[in-house]
Structure 1
Amino acid sequence: MSNVNEINATDFKTQVIEHNGLVLVDFFAQWCGPCKMIAPIIDEIATEFSTLKVVKVDADKAQALMLQFGIRGIPTLLLFNEGKVVATKVGALSLTQLREFINANS
């Protein structure tokens, strides 16, 4: 079972901004091939990093958030720490690349 929850723009503040600690946010779309490719990797990371909260946001349903964070392509991964963006990655990553991204920015 996945530890990744899909949230909407309404939940974003309480689930991400107000969270004390690290949060990885995956902006994705149902029609996006690379998003589907990294979905299992995102699930793996969620189980591997016990102190990391992982959530997904459907980009098609969260245009205001896309604008707020300057997201122009998906998949886009934003890493938040104490409610602030500390790192961004655009595009599909391997499991190793995603581990390195999180470790380098946490």
Structure 2
Amino acid sequence: MSMNTVYATREPARDEIDALGEPTVLEFGAPWCGHCLAAQPLIEAAFEGHARVRHLKVEDGKGRPLGRSFGVKLWPTLVFLDRGREVARLVRPGQAGQIREALALIDPPA
């Protein structure tokens, strides 16, 4: 697995997310969001060396239940999950290092 570059228009159900067995990053945002676009190079750089982490890009917005279940208010919001349990969250990350640190919590270096 690796970084996903396309937002899913069909969001998974919360119970599907809670049942995930592999380390996962949920990225909430929108393809037209300037903050989301600016964060993409940072996310891509941080994902290098974390090929086993699943990356789910979920298009968020009004009336989208998955984002509401995670309390998402600003984009992009990155939720770092270990076996479906949230262990870290970054809102509008400004540095790849921040993302790398959070990734290390769910996918420690060998």
Q: Please indicate the TM-score interval, normalised by the length of the shorter structure.
A: 0.7 to 0.9
Number of equivalent positions: 103
Q: Which amino acid aligns with 2:12?
A: T
Question: What is aligned with 1:82?
Answer: 83
SS at match of 1:74: coil
**Unpaired stretches in structure 1, ≥5 consecutive residues:** none
Q: TM-score, normalised by structure 1?
A: 0.78
Specify which structure has the higher proportion of strand.
1
Letter in 1 for 2:11: A
CA 1:102/1:66 → structure 2, altered by over 3 Å: closer, same or farther? same
1:22–1:80 CA contact under 8 A, matched in 2: yes
Identity %: 24
Q: CA RMSD in A?
A: 2.3
CA distance in 2, matches of 1:9, 1:58: 7
Partner of residue 93, structure 2: 92
| Contact 2:7 2:30 (C-alpha < 8 Å) held by counterparts | no
Distance 2:11 2:55 in 1: 15
Residue number in structure 1 paired with 2:74: 73
Q: Write the mapping of 1:1-106 to structure 2, written as runs, cut at 5 A.
A: 3-4=3-4, 6-7=7-8, 8-10=10-12, 13-14=15-16, 16-60=17-61, 63-103=64-104, 105-106=105-106
The structure with the largest helix share of the pair is 1
